[in-house]
Structure 1
Amino acid sequence: MTTRPGGPPSGGRRSPRNRGDDGAGPPRVSGRRGGRPPAGGDRVGRSDRAGRDGAARRGPAADSAPVRPAARDRRSSGAAGRTPSAARRPARTEAASVRRLPTASTGRPGRSRRTSGGGPRRPRPSFRRADPMRRLNAGLLAIAFVLSLFAGRLVQLQTIDSEVYTARALQQRLHKLELPAVRGDITDAEGHPLAKTVEARAVFADPHLIKPEQRQRIVSALAPLLGLEADWLLKKISTPNSRFVYLARGIAPDQGRMVEALRLPGIDTLPEYRRIYPNDDLAAGVIGFVNRDGKGGAGLEWALDSQLAGKDGWQRVEISPTGQHIPMGQDSKQPPVPGKGVRLTLLRDLQAHAQQAIEKQVKATGADNGSVIVMEPRTGRILAMASAPGYDPNRYSEADNWRNPVVEDAYEPGSTNKVITAAAVLEKGGVTPDTVYRVPYSIRRYDRVFHDSSPHPTRRMTFAGVLAKSSNVGTILASETITDQELYGYLRAFGFGEKTGVGLPGETPGQLKPPSQWSGTDRYPISFGQTVSVNALQMASVYATIANGGVRVTPTLVAGTIGPDGRFTPSPEPARRRVISERTADEIIRMLEGATGAEGTAPAAAIPGYRVAGKTGTAEIVNPRCGCYKGGGYTASFAGFAPADDPQLVVQVVLQKPTKGSHYGGDIAAPVFRDVMSFALKTRKIPPTGGTAPKIRIYARD
């Protein structure tokens, strides 16, 4: 079979798609010869070119019939082998190469039907959809990426950071609960409780479990029940990022049960202990109190807190988000160690009597405050230490102050200090109790004039008489037999200028300047107890030293401790040191017996059947407004011991700034001494010695 150039194979049928020689020419239309387009076809192509161009690019309209290939012209072989000129001619324009679209009515190429509006109908566009495999692959890729992120995070949580998150989760569930130790009791020397620990409750909140709308209801219910301020309570239960805050501690068990009965969300109680003082204000200045945090706040409760408190324990438990204890969760525990009990040297009955006596006298004299001390001179044990006004440690927050004036207040001792001058001049000045001095009412030294407490004519007095009559001028005359340094040395030896060692907090050492800081006239008032200050216990220790034959024993309040097993451990023996000779001490004791005799300054201190030795004191108080003694008031005091020939007890009484009646120590302090000493001698079952007091020669014979 041969093929004619540019035409179909000779003798064969034409291809259904009858194209030109190059396959790019316009298709033949059936029923036409020579391949010419129908009449008017060219015009149609021009007029509707724009519409057909778009249709040719996009394909036939959806409602048009498909274009069929032109039928082969079966004429003569000559005509059949001839290629139409139009087919051989290349397309002159883009429109000429586009197939004619059949109309909707005839299915043949021609003019498009017009719409009712007169315009041609535009063929519907066709959309080419993307390859579905490409879409599927893209979706799978996106899903794989997201899953890889989740997988990476899962690997981080379960492997890389697993320990960190496990620890954080456990920390959120774990709660550490305090297990308070039982505080040791404080008892008197015979075991009577002065401070004890009883069962109590603590109220706490878990702010995490309290919703904001529940807070006001909780405040309204708890504030009046626990005596708390509403604003403070609201702030506590609103604490952010907290699972445990205390709202109240040490409440009575009955109050705790009332709180539990309210069933408030996030509110619960814990068992703990509360400190009580069964004797109310008895020895409050000595014992002190325990504050709301369970810590000692004053007195021995503060000073011995480490021994009394013991060591708190703890317990870690797992708590669910709803506040429930997880039974099988982690539970570790450190048991608490109970505190040691403390046994004091105080005697409850004697303490109570001394306190009543000083309270009564403070009220009767209008004094600012007063104190009484009862000591054993041979052991240094303090049997009573009372002060007024006091306070109830069960309600310590209502008290104006918690001070113990016995050790915390410094005062000028006045004439009670003359026993130290007497000891110094007897040992260093060559003076004896019978040494005679010509004693006027007043005396000038340099630019100052010193005088006795009351006017009197010039008299010849023995040194024993000077001490019995408490003459300031006679004491100055005797003190001139020793040097400033010697006087200072004896003051220091008796304990001036240093703490007593009793162990009470807030103790003042008083004031005693060295001789290098004395002015030209300081030594004279120092000799009779002015321009120097001490606390009441220091002064009581001076008389205990004399009563003990010149040996000073450190004052002691704590007899020992009691362990959790009930075993008593005594305190170490107090320090002792000799201050003056026993002979000097005996001479001073005999001289002091004269002060309580009929011619002395304190006959009100005498106790029938007992020999009593002691000394009065009436000292002016410095007025801070002017730095002078004018208008500052007085300190009235008395210190003594009995029986004088075998001293067993020492009693020191001090009244500050009495405003009613007399301000002399012999008038208002000596009666308190007699009352307390009499009771102490009876309770301690100390009988009279039966001895007779020696007569003291007060005035010299002419």
Structure 2
Amino acid sequence: MTERSRLIRLRAVLLVPTVLLALGIVARLYYLQVIRYEYYRKKADSQHHTVVKYMPCRGKILDRNLRELATGVLTKSLYVDPSGIHPSVRADLAHDLATALNTDFDTVFQRLSGKSPAPLMRKIEDDAIFQAIAAVREKYRKRMVEPKTPAIQPNAFYFVEETKRIYPRRDLASHVIGYTELDNTGDNKGLAGVERTYDEQLRGKIGVDRVFRNALGANSVMEPVDPEVLESTYGNTVVLTIDEVIQRAAEASLRKYVNMFSADAGVAVVYDVKTGEVLAMANCPTFDLTNVAAATDFTRRNRAITDAIEPGSVMKIFTYASVIEEERIRSLEEMVDCEGGRWTVAGRTVVDSHAIGTVPIRIAFAQSSNVAAAKLAMGRLTPAKFYRHLVSFGFGEKTGIDLPGEATGRLRPLKQWTAQSVASLAYGYELQVTAIQVVAAAAAIMNNGIYMQPHIVREIRNYRGEIISQVLPQKLRRVCSPATTEKMKQLMEAVVREGTGKAAQLAEYRVGGKTGTTIKIDPKTGKYSRGNYIGSFCGVAPLEDPRICIYVWIDNPRGGTYYGGQVAAPVFKEIAEVALKQLKVPVSVPQEETSEDLNVVFDRVRSQYDVQTVAAESERNPLAILLEQTRRNDQVATGSMPDLRGLTMREVHEKLASFDHPVEYRGSGVVVDQSPRPYETIEPGDIVVVEFGSQEEYLRRLAELPESQSGAAGSSPATSLTTAPAVAATLRIARHGKEVPLQVVARVTPSVPATAEQVGAPNSNTLVEDPDPRVRSGPAPDVGKSVWAKTLKQSFEATDDLSAAMDDSTSGEESPSSPSASRPETLERPVRSAYDLQQLQQESPTGGTE
């Protein structure tokens, strides 16, 4: 073989493997780049990128002024993956973890023995626990069970961020806000209240983002999170109609009176008449949202929407509104016979708490006569019309308020009514209503007859605070005419001014309302049980342009006091004072004041300063006011008759509650006469007769007291009391830029018995009253200036417009209660303060007396 042939052969031998190798490489490249392209692309991608998961953050709940009521924060929870733990160290690891977490061994061992990841402890906030877990991890990471086999893998236990719900106000509005429970992302599942109703809005979503990572591992990313992904994890913010200040006042006042009367529970709802917004919804007892596990079903129940009760006399608001709407009452001064407090209908006797006779409808409403309500409903409404009105007011169906668990209440269909149903319904029995139903219906009457949709949420905002949706006031239907509204305002104001709801009076606002006292059914016997009551009050303010309606009830008050006017009306007063100021409602300015209105003001002043005021007015004359010192609130000796003059029927009933004598009531209004006379000895078996009349009659009799009652038949020997000379002046009161004349006469009875000479020779400055055995001490107090000045000042402050009660002219005949012998000259200087009054007394011809 030649040299050339060997070279060719060698080349061939070398070329064939080379070609085969090249073909192999090409084939491999084809396999990797084409056939296995997708596999390796994904593998490379997984090495360059990682998936980051972001836990959701639940949205906030704010009050109407954007104060935080509920919020969420991120915390860390410890999870364990059993697949990363070698079985030989499972028991030792469980023991060490249980010690670090301060929990029981069995629970931890069970989680370590499972087949899937599970939480060991959630929402950890203690730094000591984090340090203890780190020490355990380091201990077992270095431990080898076999050559090159660690006891635990790096991912054996790990931390996950989860949300924790925070309630910074703790128990404030807890029944409205509600609470959450844990899911796989933290406290992110609403269970009650707004947390449940608006769960979808509040709930955040798990955010997932795919980012580049570096060579340091999966937890080291090379780029920031996508803002859109992060935003998706935040829930929306829910803004409530609740006002924190009003809510806090409602809860504090309700708790105060529930505790004061040792009651079982209580409810107070504050409602915006014009919008249907719930400004406060208070329950007592309440519970702490930071420790829901300690609460019971009894404390967690939102009674304002779940508890349907028989409303009692508060129902008369809707009975009278129905009758007025049907134009069956021409005038509120129209007379109605209350049958002395007992009236039998269809075999059942309707009974009043205190007996009254034939009185104006206004008085019957103010004195809460069940008989009057039953007679008006039965005599002036057909059952079908009454039922139609009750349905229109919303009874028997849910209001649709945006809270879970609302009860329907109970209003039987018309075909199930009996012959007694109209009468029973008229004063609040044979139906059950919730507090939200009552307050929404009463507010509708005060809103010129327009029923608004009740709601608890005002708007929804995103996490930036931008409004994304609003709950606008929604008019649902008309329940009565504006004319009916005006008449109902007069009736409800009469309750507060002169009826059973005086405890609801406000110093700076006109108030209307209605008291209620319901006898409860004993669940054991199924019958009405004396001794178990619900006291309630529903009121509105300010009356000339109602802004708020408040309904309060207190369940089972104890201690002998259970009337709504005593246990619930004071709650209304305290809440309304705060609410009206918080809402910046202007102080009321009465459109018309009469002498009767002044007497109501003076009655309130009298109770504060222990003085008695008398206002008598004759047409075209200045107003005359007589002030006398009185001791009517003092204790009366056993066996003596108390002084009842000027008291209302309810006040007489309360004062004589423990009086062991039969009492006969005559007429209506305030006490104008009584037998036996005040402070007379009363014998066993004697009948007490109390005569009632109008304010004018009471004032007339008081102003015309005889100068001497010595030796009067049927009276004890008189002990005459002298009075100091009268303080008299014609004042010019500056009110609303206008000066009006006011003639004032003040007589003050000192506390010393008159001398024999004075008894024998009475004069125009001597006032002889019925003897009071308690008047025995000391010289007369200096009340000629202080009491008179304080009383007049307080009266003028409480009465917004005196000009309606007096004539602009100072000419004309003398006022009946003005002694003509001492008429002073007119003083032109306006009286603006107590100091001015004192100066006026000193300058007056008869001023400065004691």
* Pair 428,200 (structure 1): closer, same or farther in 2 beyond 3 Å: same
Q: 1:185 aligns with which of 52, 60, 72?
A: 60
* Pair 437,631 (structure 1): closer, same or farther in 2 beyond 3 Å: closer
| Contact 1:256 1:269 (8 Å CA) reproduced | no
| Contact 1:260 1:269 (8 Å CA) reproduced | no
2:123 matches 1:250: yes
| Contact 2:457 2:471 (8 Å CA) reproduced | no
2:81 matches 1:206: yes
Q: 2:169 aligns with which of 279, 286, 289?
A: 279
Q: 2:333 aligns with which of 401, 413, 434?
A: 434
Paired with 2:246 and 2:189, the residues of 1 have a C-alpha distance of 29
Aligned partner of 1:151 in structure 2 is none
2:551 matches 1:652: yes
Q: 1:338 aligns with which of 230, 234, 239?
A: 234
* Pair 473,179 (structure 1): closer, same or farther in 2 beyond 3 Å: same
2:248 matches 1:349: no
Aligned partner of 1:534 in structure 2 is 433
| Contact 1:375 1:381 (8 Å CA) reproduced | yes
User: Which of the pair is proportionally richer in strand?
Assistant: 2
Aligned partner of 1:196 in structure 2 is 71
Task: After TM superposition, give the deviation of residue 539 of structure 1 in Å.
Answer: 1.0
Task: After TM superposition, give the deviation of residue 672 of structure 1 in Å.
Answer: 0.8
Give the TM-score taking structure 1 as reference length: 0.69
2:348 matches 1:448: yes
Q: Which amino acid aligns with 2:158?
A: D
2:310 matches 1:412: yes
Task: After TM superposition, give the deviation of residue 381 of structure 1 in Å.
Answer: 1.5
Aligned partner of 1:614 in structure 2 is 513
SS of structure 1 residue aligned to 2:238: strand
| Contact 1:200 1:253 (8 Å CA) reproduced | no
| Contact 2:458 2:472 (8 Å CA) reproduced | no
Aligned partner of 1:501 in structure 2 is 400
| Contact 1:623 1:632 (8 Å CA) reproduced | no
Task: After TM superposition, give the deviation of residue 701 of structure 1 in Å.
Answer: 8.9
Aligned partner of 1:377 in structure 2 is 273
Aligned partner of 2:24 in structure 1 is none
SS of structure 1 residue aligned to 2:570: helix
Q: 2:365 aligns with which of 467, 477, 484?
A: 467
Q: Which amino acid aligns with 2:486?
A: D
Task: After TM superposition, give the deviation of residue 683 of structure 1 in Å.
Answer: 2.0
| Contact 2:250 2:280 (8 Å CA) reproduced | yes
SS of structure 2 residue aligned to 1:295: strand
Task: After TM superposition, give the deviation of residue 606 of structure 1 in Å.
Answer: 0.5
SS of structure 2 residue aligned to 1:470: coil
- 1:113-512 residue pairs with structure 2 within 5 A? 179-223=54-98, 230-240=105-115, 242=116, 244-252=117-125, 254=127, 257-258=130-131, 260-264=133-137, 266-293=156-183, 294-314=188-208, 336-401=232-297, 402-428=300-326, 430-432=328-330, 433-440=332-339, 441-452=341-352, 454-456=353-355, 459-480=357-378, 481-512=380-411
* Pair 628,255 (structure 1): closer, same or farther in 2 beyond 3 Å: farther
Q: 1:688 aligns with which of 587, 605, 608?
A: 587
Q: Which amino acid aligns with 1:273?
A: T
Task: After TM superposition, give the deviation of residue 177 of structure 1 in Å.
Answer: 8.2
SS of structure 2 residue aligned to 1:633: strand
Q: Which amino acid aligns with 1:544?
A: A
Paired with 1:506 and 1:212, the residues of 2 have a C-alpha distance of 50
SS of structure 1 residue aligned to 2:122: strand
Q: Which amino acid aligns with 2:439?
A: A
* Pair 182,593 (structure 1): closer, same or farther in 2 beyond 3 Å: same
> Any unmatched runs of 5+ in structure 2?
1-37, 138-151, 212-216, 598-666, 670-691, 695-850
Q: Which amino acid aligns with 1:474?
A: A
| Contact 1:199 1:253 (8 Å CA) reproduced | no
Paired with 2:96 and 2:57, the residues of 1 have a C-alpha distance of 30
SS of structure 2 residue aligned to 1:310: coil
Aligned partner of 1:75 in structure 2 is none
Paired with 1:268 and 1:392, the residues of 2 have a C-alpha distance of 32
Q: Which amino acid aligns with 2:485?
A: A
* Pair 622,176 (structure 1): closer, same or farther in 2 beyond 3 Å: farther
Task: After TM superposition, give the deviation of residue 292 of structure 1 in Å.
Answer: 2.3
Aligned partner of 2:796 in structure 1 is none
SS of structure 2 residue aligned to 1:181: coil
Paired with 1:545 and 1:581, the residues of 2 have a C-alpha distance of 10
Paired with 1:660 and 1:701, the residues of 2 have a C-alpha distance of 32
Task: After TM superposition, give the deviation of residue 659 of structure 1 in Å.
Answer: 2.3
Task: After TM superposition, give the deviation of residue 670 of structure 1 in Å.
Answer: 0.6
- 1:596-607 residue pairs with structure 2 within 5 A? 596-598=496-498, 600-607=499-506
SS of structure 1 residue aligned to 2:528: coil
Aligned partner of 2:480 in structure 1 is 580
* Pair 653,224 (structure 1): closer, same or farther in 2 beyond 3 Å: farther
| Contact 1:444 1:450 (8 Å CA) reproduced | yes
Aligned partner of 1:43 in structure 2 is none
Paired with 1:225 and 1:275, the residues of 2 have a C-alpha distance of 25
| Contact 1:187 1:342 (8 Å CA) reproduced | yes
Task: After TM superposition, give the deviation of residue 582 of structure 1 in Å.
Answer: 0.5
* Pair 338,690 (structure 1): closer, same or farther in 2 beyond 3 Å: same
Q: Which amino acid aligns with 1:449?
A: T
Paired with 2:283 and 2:693, the residues of 1 have a C-alpha distance of 45
> Any unmatched runs of 5+ in structure 1?
1-162, 318-323
Identity %: 32
* Pair 586,213 (structure 1): closer, same or farther in 2 beyond 3 Å: farther
2:467 matches 1:594: no
Paired with 2:593 and 2:509, the residues of 1 have a C-alpha distance of 9
Paired with 1:503 and 1:688, the residues of 2 have a C-alpha distance of 32
Task: After TM superposition, give the deviation of residue 674 of structure 1 in Å.
Answer: 0.6
2:405 matches 1:515: no
Paired with 2:508 and 2:548, the residues of 1 have a C-alpha distance of 15
- 1:642-681 residue pairs with structure 2 within 5 A? 642-681=541-580
2:533 matches 1:634: yes
Aligned partner of 2:448 in structure 1 is 549
| Contact 1:622 1:632 (8 Å CA) reproduced | no
| Contact 1:202 1:256 (8 Å CA) reproduced | no
Q: Which amino acid aligns with 2:125?
A: A
Task: After TM superposition, give the deviation of residue 223 of structure 1 in Å.
Answer: 4.8
* Pair 232,409 (structure 1): closer, same or farther in 2 beyond 3 Å: farther
| Contact 1:249 1:292 (8 Å CA) reproduced | no
